Amino acid sequence: MLSVAALVLASSMVVGQAEGKDPHQQWIKYFAGSWAVTDQNGNTYDEPIGLASGGTALFGQGKLPDGVDYVRVLGWEADSKTLVETWYLSNGMHLVTRFREIGENKLVGNVTLADGKGQTAKGTVTREKTSKDEFTSTYRGNLPGQGDESILVWKAKRK
């Protein structure tokens, strides 16, 4: 009888996630789609982001304005209640952001960047919805191999 109750509970949790009732699931659904991204220097690129794993994660790949190819995955770690986003770039760089502050209109997370040469840096990413079709990402922290704090800003608009 206990296993039946556990099965019912588990299936109700899956249904709730699929319907996007949890804040992390609402963010996953929000990010799904095609975005035009502009950085603080005016460089732009297209970023198609698709739902993966039955709508519980996101997957995207493309080319940044400097010609670097990337792949990114964003998904939910239920045990730590964290949205985790990982990027891998063709220049050897990768970064992992762990969003632990998950609000209706804002995500805040710690990010670790590595440049492929063994140098790492840490910072904070804040992602804020500015409308139902626009958001801003702001990185505050160091860059690998650089000592001074940097502030980088990207604006994304749904296409």
Asked if the structure places residue 14 within a domain, the reply is no
pLDDT tens column, 63-110: 999 999 999 999 999 999 999 999 999 999 999 999 999 999 999 999
CATH number at residue 103: 2.40.128.20
| Residue 71: closest CA among 99, 90, 98 | 90
Structural domain span for residue 53: 23-158
Asked if the structure places residue 71 within a domain, the reply is yes
Q: Give the total number of structural domains in the chain.
A: 1
This prediction's pTM: 0.83
Asked if the structure places residue 153 within a domain, the reply is yes
pLDDT tens column, 100-145: 999 999 999 999 999 988 899 999 999 999 999 999 999 999 888 7
Asked if the structure places residue 11 within a domain, the reply is no
Asked if the structure places residue 141 within a domain, the reply is yes
Instruction: Name the one residue in this structure whose structure tokens are 């045990």.
Output: 79
Asked if the structure places residue 36 within a domain, the reply is yes
Output the DSSP codes for the chain: -HHHHHHHHHHHHHHHHHTT-SHHHHHHHHH-EEEEEEETTS-EEEEEEEEEGGGTEEEEEEE-TTS-EEEEEEEEETTTTEEEEEEEETTS-EEEEEEEEE-SSEEEEEEEEE-SSS-EEEEEEEEEEEETTEEEEEEEE--TT--S-EEEEEEEEE-
Asked if the structure places residue 118 within a domain, the reply is yes
The single-letter code of the amino acid at 134 is: E
- Inform me whether the pLDDT recorded for 9 exceeds 90: no
For 130, residues 6+ apart whose C-beta sits below 8 A from its C-beta are 136, 155
Asked if the structure places residue 5 within a domain, the reply is no
Name the β-bridge partners of 143: none
